[in-house]
Homo-oligomer: A and B are copies of this chain.
Amino acid sequence: MKMRPEKYLRYLFLPNLLELFGTERTKEILTVNPTIIPIREEAATVIINAYVYNKAEVKEYKNISIEEALSLKCNDHIIWINIDGLRKDDVDQLGDQYGIHPLLREDILSINQRPKVDEIDEILFSLMNILYYNEEKNAIGQEQISLVLGKNFVITFQDDPSRDLFNALRERLKLTTSKTRGKEADYLYYTLIDTIVDHYFIVMDKLRDRIEDVEEEIVRGTNKRSLALINVLRKELIVLKRSIYPVRDVLSGLIKSDSELLTEFNERFYKDVYDHVVQAIDLVENYRDMIMGMQDLYISNVNLKMNEVMKVMAIVTCVLAPATVIGGIFGMNFQVIPLSGQHWGFWIAVGAMLIIPAWMLILFRKRGWF
């Protein structure tokens, strides 16, 4: 009886059910409108970090103001400015100083933009999504990042100051042994993109855990919950697909680019990232195959269970039949009923009630019904 109230809850409190199926997630996923700028709110907090480095030295500027960032000089150093939290003014000021084309600024300030690569006026621009796994909501979160490469500088624009993927990279940059230190700005650019792509696999690992859980649940039994979980997984797959697939084009764009910003030496590194993206896409396809297999498994399992239940019903129905018929016959109130006066009449009737079903069961088993 312990189970009853829980079941009640499940059926009576609808909001839970909607949450289970992740319906509010649908809205999040399908709301994509890259064209309307005004929707974006100006970031409440902006964190700007900058690194000015060359082979010999690294200067670190943490949490500086936009004015300080603008005043940085490169003279044979490479500058990397990272901005967490976007404000139109900041982007415009930086854009003016570093020669970022207005169309690119629009892209930086856009929301839900498709990953893309562009090259205008000596500036190489890439836009990608950083993926996060939101443990709380059990959903994949995405944060748009714009990477701007120019002669001697890299500027990265991110939405959310609370998360940052590049900390390990920063630590490495401070080491004198760092490969990045001795190379051009485009090597830094590569390591940034590489870090983003590598993080996809970590996010997908989390999703894989859930796929396994769902499979286990389906194998154990088919209920509303496992159905909901498949549904939720299919939605996350859409997010994955949308964020990762276009990155292939971004990278093949970078590889094929004849920009002078990309030294030939680094092309090989971009090819390596490209291989990883292709593998990530393969993996998404594998996830899809797996989830589709689970969907089929679910339906087959439900059918199988129904089949089993039906068999029990059919058997019980059949077993009842003789008892009903014979009981009906001898239960009639006629004055003259054959056998009714006999001592052994009752036993004959009861015997028939038992022997006929037994014979039916043997027959059914031979037919392979259970």
Contacts of A201 in B (CB 8 A): 32-36
Number of interface residues of A (CB under 8 A): 119
Q: Is A98 part of the contact surface with B, judged by Cβ < 8 Å? A: no
Q: Is A71 part of the contact surface with B, judged by Cβ < 8 Å? A: no
Cβ of A331 and Cβ of B333 under 8 Å apart? yes
Cβ of A227 and Cβ of B301 under 8 Å apart? yes
Q: Is A366 part of the contact surface with B, judged by Cβ < 8 Å? A: yes
Residues A290 and B26 in contact in the complex (CB < 8 Å), given A297-B227, A306-B306: yes
- Cβ contacts A342-359/B at 8 Å (1 or 0 each): 110110011001000000
Contacts of A320 in B (CB 8 A): 320-321, 324-325
Q: Is A72 part of the contact surface with B, judged by Cβ < 8 Å? A: no
Contacts of A287 in B (CB 8 A): 30
Cβ of A299 and Cβ of B293 under 8 Å apart? no
Cβ of A318 and Cβ of B318 under 8 Å apart? no
- Cβ contacts A25-48/B at 8 Å (1 or 0 each): 011011111111000000000000
Q: Is A302 part of the contact surface with B, judged by Cβ < 8 Å? A: yes
Contact partner, A309, options B35, B299, B303, B310, Cβ 8 Å: B310
In Å, the complex CA distance between A194 and B338 comes to 85
In Å, the complex CA distance between A317 and B268 comes to 71
Contacts of A175 in B (CB 8 A): none
Contacts of A345 in B (CB 8 A): 334-336
Contacts of A312 in B (CB 8 A): 314, 318
Q: Give chain A interface residues in 104-134, CB to chain B under 8 Å.
A: 113-114, 116, 118, 120
Q: Is A330 part of the contact surface with B, judged by Cβ < 8 Å? A: yes
Q: Is A103 part of the contact surface with B, judged by Cβ < 8 Å? A: yes
The stretch of A88-96, A164-172, A204-212 in contact with B is A204-212
In Å, the complex CA distance between A308 and B239 comes to 33
Residues A313 and B317 in contact in the complex (CB < 8 Å), given A12-B366, A286-B30: yes
In Å, the complex CA distance between A298 and B298 comes to 13
Q: How far is the CB of A52 from chain B (nearest CB, A)?
A: 27
Q: Is A57 part of the contact surface with B, judged by Cβ < 8 Å? A: no
In Å, the complex CA distance between A276 and B36 comes to 11
Contacts of A369 in B (CB 8 A): 309
Contacts of A366 in B (CB 8 A): 11-12
**Which of A118, A227, A314 has most chain B Cβ within 10 Å?**
A314
Beyond the given pairs A312-B314, A324-B327, A337-B346, 5 more chain A to chain B contacts, judged by CB atoms under 8 angstroms and listed by A's residue number, are: A30-B290, A309-B369, A320-B324, A327-B332, A330-B334
7 smallest A-B Cβ distances: which pairs? Answer: A327-B328, A330-B332, A35-B198, A323-B325, A33-B201, A334-B346, A30-B208
30 contacts between A and B (CB under 8 A): A14-B220, A21-B219, A21-B297, A23-B212, A26-B212, A26-B215, A30-B212, A30-B283, A32-B279, A32-B283, A34-B201, A34-B276, A114-B278, A114-B279, A224-B304, A231-B293, A234-B293, A246-B282, A306-B306, A306-B307, A309-B369, A314-B316, A316-B318, A316-B321, A325-B353, A327-B329, A327-B332, A329-B349, A332-B346, A333-B337
